[in-house]
Amino acid sequence: MASYRDLLQRTKGEIEEIEPAEAAGRADSPLYLDVREQDEWDEGHLPGAIHVPRGYLESRIEAAAPDRERPIVVYCAGGSRSAFAAQTLGELGYGDVRSLAGGYTEWKRNGFPTQLPRTLDAGKRARYSRHLLIPEIGEAGQLALLDARVLLIGAGGLGSPASLYLAAAGVGRLGIVDADVVDESNLQRQIVHSTKSLGTPKVLSAKAALEALNPDVEVVPYEERLTSENIDRILAEGWDVIVDGADNFPTRYLVNDASVWHDIPVVHGSIYRFEGQVTVFRPQVGPCYRCLFPSPPPPELAPSCAEGGVLGVLPGIIGSLQASEALKLTLGIGEPLVGRLLLVDALEASFSEVKLRRDPDCPVCGEHPTITEYVDYVEFCAGPRAGAAA
């Protein structure tokens, strides 16, 4: 029967080791894989290393290191656990694996660089555990969400579910722009508000609900109507993503122009009765709102939800899709709806897509822009017909 010492010696004979000095001098940027326990990782690790505790190595390594050809330097504290890990990696088909001789201890003693991880405390680890389990998010992704700043235009039908899910997801800073107060007719769909907040400003009602849901989130209320005069001030506070849930065309065109000039992606959603539209406008990468809709419909063809009604749950679907897109943009994962307009029909339970392209002649994001400063958006949306009629 082999003792631990025998097993270790035999394993070390079957794998390749690498000395810290050689590893530190490598120019081919190997993947550093830390197989120690969480508390050891938390005290410091090699810069850029990924962390897969040895107990989870077999089950998690393929998601964490999908490229089996990339050289891997695996390490633990002293070089023993990493030797067994290197053997396992070899059995899993990883072609170029070396175990760091002497481990993290020897690395650090030689004065090679280390870094302290930013980590989630136990409370956050529990709260966001279902995110942490997803390889595409994990601890780094959750920390990015906690650092993220998302501005919601409107705390109404779309803003309600979007803000609730973004807050629950731990987006650290949520700005909300809305000048309205909570009204009885809102409560059929605007689920961030409640009967007891009737008559209070929507931004304050939303702030209370969102911070109650998740105290990690700071909600910045802007109890004002978005205008050409205040939008630069609001955007100057620094936002990674805008979620547009406005209820009128002038605001949508204003948000578009400002987002192009400030280079902030906009997750667009709009709803009417049983149908909704979702897309992502990413300045200079994909089309903008004006590329899609160069001019708004005349008022008689553009009834609002207040005039034409809306199925209460529809903004739940569309606003949740907007939250999903905002999270993807923040995390830099997946295929955002850039250049694609998703059409949702709740009555048919159908989802379809049309392609959107940048318009080289777009007056705002085109090659030769003709609109370079804010215009009178109310007048623009009233259109020439209204002007002629007046």
Partner 1 sequence: MTRVRIPPTLRSDTGGEREVEANGADVRAVLEDLTERHPALRDRIWEDGAVAPFVNIYLDGEDVRTLEGVDTAVREGQSLILLPAMAGG
Residues forming the site for partner 1 (CB under 8 A): 154, 156-159, 244-249, 252, 269-277, 292-298, 301-305, 308, 310, 315, 343, 348, 352-357, 359
Could you tell me which of 364, 144, 120 has the C-alpha nearest to residue 240?
144
Structure tokens at 117: 């991880």
Which C-beta is closer to partner 1: that of 44 or that of 298? 298
Least Å distance, CB 341 to partner 1, is 8
Which C-beta is closer to partner 1: that of 5 or that of 355? 355
The answer to whether 242 touches 267, Cβ cutoff 8 Å, is yes
Which C-beta is closer to partner 1: that of 156 or that of 170? 156
The answer to whether 152 touches 177, Cβ cutoff 8 Å, is yes
Which C-beta is closer to partner 1: that of 41 or that of 249? 249
Least Å distance, CB 252 to partner 1, is 6
Least Å distance, CB 227 to partner 1, is 17
Least Å distance, CB 318 to partner 1, is 9
Which C-beta is closer to partner 1: that of 56 or that of 293? 293
Least Å distance, CB 292 to partner 1, is 7
